[in-house]
Amino acid sequence: MTDPRLVRALIAAAAAENAAVYGYSVAGARLAASDKGVARTAYDAHRAQTLVITQWLAQASATPDPDAPVYQLPSPVTDASSARAALVSIEESTAAAYADVIAAADAPLRRDAALALQLAAVRAAIWRDRAVPFPGLAGRLGL
């Protein structure tokens, strides 16, 4: 039987990825032209990762919650600066979701989730223009 904590973490990661796809579609419209290519690449990565998580859930004999038609953005997006700030928050939330998967998973899945967390942390650093210690946990630790 699959650990219920792992299933909850995977469902939360799927929701974080779906929220990221939504957030990139909203924020991307407000980004400067020079950032749009980076945003498109990140958007595509989040879309692909939703499929990966669906596979992880299937292996755990679970299904993700249905996608919401709209997701709450972490902050209002009114211009390029606020779009970048929202994308930082989105990536931090995604990284945090993967940190929970890592905590609940066994070795093979833990490695894949750690790589997904790393990619989210890199994207957050791109939007923030710097890295933070403990990606995925920084918000929880008050950093």
Domains of the chain: 4-141 (1.20.1260.10)
Please tell me the predicted confidence (pLDDT) of residue 86: 97
* Contact (CB, 8 A) for 113 and 136: no
Question: What is the spatial distance between Cα 45 and Cα 47, in angstroms, rounded to a whole number?
Answer: 5
> Taking the chain (143 residues) in consecutive chunks of 10 residues, what is each chunk's mean pLDDT?
90 97 97 97 98 96 89 95 97 96 95 96 90 63 53
